[in-house]
């Protein structure tokens, strides 16, 4: 049903006082204390109190446990996330990408997270449009009251601009930003506690706080419609000429909470009629879609949500249109080049080289066996050599996830962005196969090898890189005589001095502190026992401070017993914090 916008009396503004008050009431109800209690209550109700750290530890040790019980845990986790709302629904969607951290039965269950929620009342949408747009509701000739889509973060409506085309209007829910900020503060504290429950070697390799911060940054970008509009315009300008059969909707206007973009009359890529596109048209769309994503990645961008529900086939132009640019981000172009080099080595059956290149992404810790790490990566890449179309091994996103899991199992620090990149690559592969299963995805990548190499070499040997090299070399040559002269003076005057400062890592310091504390408690208990014995022996028939020897002996033994019990409890608690294998 259309909600017509009154044009006869443009100066008369609708009274949104009641709506504004309702929104302010909802915002005031979102407090850290209430959300903390809600989160803890929901987790306890679903039996998720202390299992999360054990699941991660088992996964990274290569012991995933019983599939049925893990699926039940995943179901309880999904229900808890759905009950807790937008922040946790989006968190669950990010955790789906972390198959390197969570067992597959849990991630499969989290894939069913419901991001389709009942829409809020239309009056609140009108209030946001009136408040944020320069012309308010007068921007539109009409707007449909029933949304095209209603998700946890935003709702999308069909509307018509005044004297303009039909558009899609994306509106962020009014309370979701404060809810995100409040929940993230609680989640950060939970992640800090969870980090402490992990074994020391996993603490060295895994930064849960960094994962939460990355999630928070990407989520806040997804709530800013001006940021999404900027990404869409950038992608449209940079890649539309390269990809003739893939495009991005035109953006008409954007504010913090409202995005007005081109309305696409068509079907989702997984729903279009089979006979609507010819084989040649499907091939062209597939090739352009794959090349568009690969080139975007090489330029330092990724789209982590390029699946079939975010890509439409336009009835008019027969192009594929990527309609949602919320879950996107930037990545180091060098990291993207490393991943493409891995793919090229795999296609040439160069597993040794592929393993070497993969190791450039991973930072070993003191617990890492580098020889074992390289051997596992070599074995992994061999499994992907000559994989056939439709094989589970014919998925480069899965390859990256498995390599990331190997790195974490060997206690390496791995870039957090790899998981989102892998999700994007897997989604693109799945979409490409959906639209044109007759063509091998690997062959499409191979056909793009020359542009890939040009991009890699172009970033290494362009004007800026060469200018930087020349400048650094000139600085070295210009200052070399002076530096060499200072070195000779130091040698001649015998002023050599070597300063050495040893600093242990936090895990080692914590372990040494625990050992020292336990030794101190043990010595104290021993000293009390010995002192009690000496005092009792020195007063065979008298008293000490008004107490006979029996009382003194009992007090000394009681204190010693309490110290021993406390020391045993500390040892037991430490063992409980470590997962059992």
| Domain coverage including residue 539 | 506-576
- CB count, 10 Å around CB of 30? 16
Q: Residue 278 class from Cβ within 10 Å (0-12 exposed, 13-18 middle, 19+ buried)?
A: exposed
Q: Are 7 and 139 spatial neighbours (Cβ–Cβ below 8 Å)?
A: no
Does some domain include residue 169? no
The sign one gets for the Cα dihedral 206, 207, 208, 214 is: negative
Strands 266-268 and 258-262: unpaired
166: in domain: no
pLDDT for position 264: 92
Report yes or no on 234 lying in a domain: no
pLDDT on residue 372 = 92
Domain end point (choices 221, 254, 278): 221
Q: Phi and psi at residue 428, in whole multiples of 5°?
A: -65, -40
- 51 has a pLDDT exceeding 80: no
> Rounded distance, CA 75 to CA 71, Å?
6
Residue percentage of the chain with pLDDT more than 90? 16
**Does 236 reside within a domain?**
no
Residue 167 reports pLDDT greater than 90: yes
Q: Averaging pLDDT over each range in 143-152, 162-171, 492-501, which range is the top one?
A: 162-171
Q: Is the pLDDT of residue 320 over 60?
A: yes
Q: Are residues 553 and 523 in the same domain?
A: yes
Buried b or exposed e, range 285-324, using 16+ CB within 10 angstroms = bbbbbbbbbbbbbbeebbbbbbbebbbbbbeeebbbbbbb
**Residue 284 pLDDT:** 87
Q: Could you tell me the pLDDT band of residue 10, with boundaries at 50, 70 and 90?
A: very low
Q: Do 61 and 196 lie in a common domain?
A: yes
At 320 the three-state DSSP class reads strand
| Whether residue 84 sits in one domain with residue 108 | yes
Q: Is residue 519 part of a domain?
A: yes
Q: Are residues 301 and 414 in the same domain?
A: yes
Q: Please write down the long-range contacts of 281-284, taking CB distance under 8 Å and 24 or more positions apart.
A: 281/245, 281/318, 282/435, 282/436, 283/436, 283/438, 283/439, 284/244, 284/245
Mean pLDDT rounded to a whole number for the chain: 79
In a domain, residue 162? The reply is: no
Asked if the model's pLDDT at residue 96 lies above 50, the reply is yes
What average pLDDT does this structure show over 63-71? 70
Domain count, the chain: 4
Kindly report whether the global pTM for this prediction surpasses the value 0.75. no
Predicted confidence at residue 5, as pLDDT, reads 57
Same domain, 381 and 416: yes
The kind and range of the H/E element at 516 are helix 506-538
Q: Please check whether residues 86 and 198 belong to one and the same domain.
A: yes
Are 388 and 455 within one domain? yes
In this structure, are 217 and 270 located in the same domain?
no
Q: What is the Cα–Cα distance from 362 to 345, expressed in whole angstroms?
A: 18
Question: Same domain for 71 and 214?
Answer: yes
Mean pLDDT value across residues 397-415: 85
User: What whole-number distance in Å separates Cα of residue 114 and Cα of residue 111?
Assistant: 9
Confidence band for 580, pLDDT divided at 50, 70 and 90: very low
Same-domain check for residues 466 and 530: no
From 203, 221, 239, the end of a domain falls on 221
Who contacts 90 (Cβ-Cβ below 8 Å, separation ≥6)?
152, 153, 215, 219, 222
Give a yes or no: residue 55 inside a domain: yes
180 touches 87 (CB < 8 A): yes
Q: Which of 406 and 500 is assigned the larger pLDDT?
A: 406
Question: Are 192 and 98 contained in the same domain?
Answer: yes
Whether 306 maps to a domain, the answer reads: yes
Q: Band the pLDDT of 546: cuts 50, 70, 90.
A: low
Residue 115 · residue 11 · CB < 8 Å: no
pLDDT of residue 1 exceeding 70? no
Termini Cα distance of the chain = 60
In this structure, the answer to whether residues 428 and 486 fall within a common structural domain is no
Confidence label for 142 from pLDDT (cuts 50, 70 and 90): very high
């Amino acid at each position: 049903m259309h909600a017509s916008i009154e044009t006869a009396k443009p100066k008369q503004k609708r009274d949104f006082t009641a709506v504004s008050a309702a929104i302010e009431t909802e915002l005031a109800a979102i407090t850290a204390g209430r959300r903390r209690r809600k989160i803890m209550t929901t987790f306890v109700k679903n039996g998720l109190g202390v299992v999360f750290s054990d699941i991660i530890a088992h996964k990274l040790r290569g012991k995933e446990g019983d599939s049925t019980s893990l699926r039940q845990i995943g179901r309880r986790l999904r229900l808890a996330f759905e009950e807790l709302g937008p922040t946790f629904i989006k968190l669950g969607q990010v955790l789906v990408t972390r198959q390197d951290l969570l067992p597959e039965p849990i991630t499969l269950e989290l894939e069913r997270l419901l991001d389709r929620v009942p829409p809020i009342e239309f009056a609140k949408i009108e209030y946001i449009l009136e408040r944020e747009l320069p012309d308010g509701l007068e921007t539109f000739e009409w707007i449909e009251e029933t949304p095209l889509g209603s998700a946890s973060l935003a709702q999308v409506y069909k509307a018509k601009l005044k004297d303009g085309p039909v558009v899609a209007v994306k509106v962020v829910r009014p309370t979701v930003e404060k809810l995100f900020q409040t929940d993230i503060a609680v989640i950060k504290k939970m992640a800090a506690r969870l980090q402490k429950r992990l074994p020391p070697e996993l603490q060295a390799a895994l930064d849960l706080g960094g994962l939460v911060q990355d999630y928070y940054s990407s989520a806040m970008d997804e709530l800013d419609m001006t940021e999404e509009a900027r990404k869409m315009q950038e992608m449209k300008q940079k890649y539309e000429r390269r990809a003739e059969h893939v495009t991005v909707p035109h953006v008409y206007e954007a504010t913090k909470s409202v995005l007005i973009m081109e309305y696409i009359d068509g079907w989702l890529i997984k729903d279009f009629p089979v006979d609507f596109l010819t084989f040649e048209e499907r091939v062209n769309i597939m090739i352009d879609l794959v090349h568009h994503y690969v080139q975007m990645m090489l330029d330092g961008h990724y789209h982590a949500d390029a699946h079939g529900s975010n890509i439409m086939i336009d009835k008019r132009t027969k192009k594929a249109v990527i309609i949602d640019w919320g879950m996107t981000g930037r990545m180091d172009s060098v990291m993207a080049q490393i991943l493409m080099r891995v793919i090229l080595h795999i296609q040439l059956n160069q597993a040794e080289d592929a393993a070497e290149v993969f190791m450039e992404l991973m930072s070993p810790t003191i617990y890492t066996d580098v020889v074992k790490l390289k051997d596992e990566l070599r074995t992994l890449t061999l499994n992907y050599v000559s994989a056939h179309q439709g094989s589970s091994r014919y998925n480069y996103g899965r390859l990256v996830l498995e390599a990331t899991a190997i790195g974490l199992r060997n206690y390496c620090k791995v870039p957090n962005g790899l998981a989102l990149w892998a999700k994007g690559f897997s989604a693109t592969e799945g979409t490409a196969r959906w639209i044109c299963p007759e063509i091998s995805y690997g062959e499409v990548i191979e056909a793009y090898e020359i542009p890939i190499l040009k991009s890699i070499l172009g970033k290494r040997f362009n004007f800026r890189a060469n200018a930087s090299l020349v400048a650094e070399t000139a600085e070295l040559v210009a200052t070399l005589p002076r530096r060499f002269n200072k070195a000779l003076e130091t040698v001649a005057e015998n002023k050599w001095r070597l300063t050495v400062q040893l600093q242990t890592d936090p895990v080692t310091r914590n372990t040494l502190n625990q050992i020292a504390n336990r030794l101190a408690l043990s010595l104290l208990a021993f000293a009390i026992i010995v002192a009690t014995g000496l005092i009792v022996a020195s007063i065979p028939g008298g008293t000490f401070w008004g107490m006979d020897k029996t009382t003194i002996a009992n007090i000394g033994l009681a204190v010693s017993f309490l110290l021993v019990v406390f020391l045993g409890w500390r040892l037991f608690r430490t063992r409980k914090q470590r997962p059992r294998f």
